[in-house]
Amino acid sequence: MDWNTNSILGNPGEDYLTIAAENDLDQTYRNAQFNMHYTGKLDTLGTTISANVDFARLNTEDFSDFTNRYDYSQTGEQNTEFLNSKSFSDFDIYAANIDFAKPLSERSSFEVGVKTSKVVSKSRLEFFELKEGSNVYDPEKSDSFKYTEEIYAAYVNYSNRISDTWNLQLGLRAEQTVGEGKSARLDEVGSRDYLEFFPNIMLEQNVSDNYKLNYSYSKRISRPNYSYFNPVAFYLDPYSYVVGNPDLRAEITSSYKVSQTFFKKYNLLLSYDHVKDFSAEVPSTNNETGETNFTTRNLDNSRSFTATLVAPVELASFWNTNNNLVLNQQYFDLTIDDQKVSNDNFFYLFQSNHQINLPWDISFELNGSLQGPVAYGVYNIDQQWWIDAGLKKSFLNERLNVTVSATDIFEGKRMDINAAFLGNTIYINQYFDEKAISVNLRYRLSRSKSKAKARSTNLEELERAGG
């Protein structure tokens, strides 16, 4: 994978330095997963007990080459620098849970469960500069890091269909988190040990056959990826680094929602979310050296008001559409160097999916999206739009399915990002090569259309490790 940057350092009207950085990444990823599952029926009333034991191991090896070309406007001097790095990361994930469910009556039920998990993460970064044909080890840019985390959780849920009109669900979850990370070179130890409670309540009202209301409150936790805790500075170009944060805290979200369903197909959702310790990337520039560090850190808080409308529409017997409209007011607040920084924005997103049945049993699908300006932490992202399309045709009595799809046809997902705070101004333009054409062939050996039921363990720990 290649990623290139161009940097211009200096003040307007003065001499400046141009750096063209060409970077190449070769990555190898391996993983192995094991799951053991048990489900038992304890009586004829529907009482059940289930258990899962999971183990996963992930391994990633990254080999990067950096070529930096310097051009000094004042002297016209040019020179080239060659660097490379090797990084290795390993994750061992252990998890187990037991769940018990019991009907209390025809209208009510009770659930209780416990879960425990442990993650051991090890990473190592080796950085080199090519001098006179030999790689010279750079200890200042190299490091090893180990992070261990244990989570102990328990929950209880209760549901009761109070009447034909009202349905109630209550729940409470408790989670204890214990973690510790250590950097070998920096000799830093970051630890965390906290207990949090997460209540949830949902009240459903069936007003009529064509109108339903749902009121809910929930509190939930979102923990950072394990790599974010690593304090080492990962090299991007001579003046840009990604630096981890050993003190990064988990996000705690309180969410209030009212949803309405009309005629069993149109949905309107109104919600308010308050996020404590919202985490986002915050750049900081050293004015003396010109270096910029990009670090994920906790903001003071984040708030958002959202309205979401889902409206499927049948335009013709052969043409169905599904349309989504999201309106959102965002607020972000943080403190940098004892100064308050705020960023707010009105955001909109419109998505329209069209499914059209063409002659000769060909299916055509078209997706269009328009996304308004976005605020994210201290960043502001300009408007984006994109179009995806696909064709599908079946052969051999529907045993062979051929799909041709194109994503981001007009490169509308290109991101123009800017941030201006405390005298720092940053502009970023990036595109992740999402424009692509793919062909998929799928052949079914059996004539039966029945599908085996897949069971997923949905390990949060696996997602945080990048698996």
Q: Where are the alpha helices (DSSP H) in 305-384?
A: none
Q: Which tokens sit at 152?
A: 């102990």
The contacts of residue 412 (CB under 8 Å, 6+ apart) are 384, 385, 386, 387
The contacts of residue 390 (CB under 8 Å, 6+ apart) are 364, 365, 403, 404, 405, 406
Q: Give the long-range contacts of residues 304-307, CB within 8 A, separation 24 or more.
A: 304/272, 304/273, 304/328, 304/329, 304/330, 304/331, 305/271, 305/272, 305/329, 306/269, 306/270, 306/271, 306/272, 306/273, 307/268, 307/269, 307/270
The rounded distance, in Å, linking the Cα atoms of 238 and 409 is 34
Paired strand residues for 152: 116, 176
pLDDT band at 451 (very low <50, low <70, confident <90, very high): low
Using a 10 angstrom Cβ sphere, with 0-12 exposed, 13-18 middle and 19 or more buried, the burial of residue 150 is middle
Q: Give the number of other Cβ atoms within 10 Å of residue 445's Cβ.
A: 6
Find the mean pLDDT for residues 106-124: 96
The CA-to-CA distance between both ends of the chain, in Å, stands at 19
With H, G, I as helix, E, B as strand and everything else as coil, classify residue 218. Answer: strand
Q: Which tokens sit at 263?
A: 């005629």
User: For residue 349, which of 293, 303, 308 has the smallest C-alpha distance?
Assistant: 308
- Confirm if 118 and 225 have CB atoms less than 8 A apart: no
Residue 11, pLDDT score = 64
Residue 151, pLDDT score = 98
**Range with the poorest average pLDDT among 3-7, 75-79, 387-391, 416-420:** 3-7
User: Does 188 score more than 90 pLDDT?
Assistant: no
φ, ψ of residue 187 in degrees (nearest 5): 50, 40
The rounded distance, in Å, linking the Cα atoms of 320 and 311 is 11
φ, ψ of residue 278 in degrees (nearest 5): -55, 135
Residue 115, pLDDT score = 97
The rounded distance, in Å, linking the Cα atoms of 86 and 357 is 51
186 or 226: which leads in pLDDT: 226
Q: Give the number of other Cβ atoms within 10 Å of residue 338's Cβ.
A: 5
- In tens, the pLDDT along 234-274 reads 988 888 899 999 999 999 999 999 999 999 999 999 999 99
Ramachandran assignment for 411, one of left (phi > 0), alpha (psi -120 to 50 degrees), beta (any other): left
Per-residue buried b or exposed e for 14-50, using 16+ beta carbons within 10 Å of the residue's own CB: eeebebebebeeeeeeeeeeeeeeeeeeeeeeeeeee
Q: Which tokens sit at 228?
A: 């974010």
Paired strand residues for 307: 270, 327
Residue 371, pLDDT score = 97
Residue 447, pLDDT score = 60
Residue percentage of the chain with pLDDT more than 70: 95
User: Does 277 score more than 80 pLDDT?
Assistant: yes
Residue 455, pLDDT score = 58
Q: CATH for 2-464?
A: 2.40.170.20
φ, ψ of residue 360 in degrees (nearest 5): 60, 30
User: Does 448 score more than 70 pLDDT?
Assistant: no
Q: Which single residue is written with the structure tokens 């976005």? A: 374
The rounded distance, in Å, linking the Cα atoms of 358 and 354 is 12
pLDDT band at 296 (very low <50, low <70, confident <90, very high): very high
Using a 10 angstrom Cβ sphere, with 0-12 exposed, 13-18 middle and 19 or more buried, the burial of residue 147 is buried
Residue 72, pLDDT score = 81
- What is the total residue count of the chain? 467
Distances (CA, A) of 399 to 14, 169, 363: 68, 44, 16
The rounded distance, in Å, linking the Cα atoms of 306 and 272 is 6
The rounded distance, in Å, linking the Cα atoms of 331 and 345 is 7
- In tens, the pLDDT along 386-445 reads 999 999 999 988 899 999 999 999 999 999 999 887 777 788 888 877 899 999 999 988
Residue-averaged pLDDT of the chain: 91
Residue percentage of the chain with pLDDT more than 90: 71
User: Does 454 score more than 60 pLDDT?
Assistant: no
Q: Give the number of other Cβ atoms within 10 Å of residue 431's Cβ.
A: 11
Residue 291, pLDDT score = 86
Find the mean pLDDT for residues 36-51: 94
Residue 12, pLDDT score = 58
75 or 334: which leads in pLDDT: 334
The rounded distance, in Å, linking the Cα atoms of 355 and 351 is 13
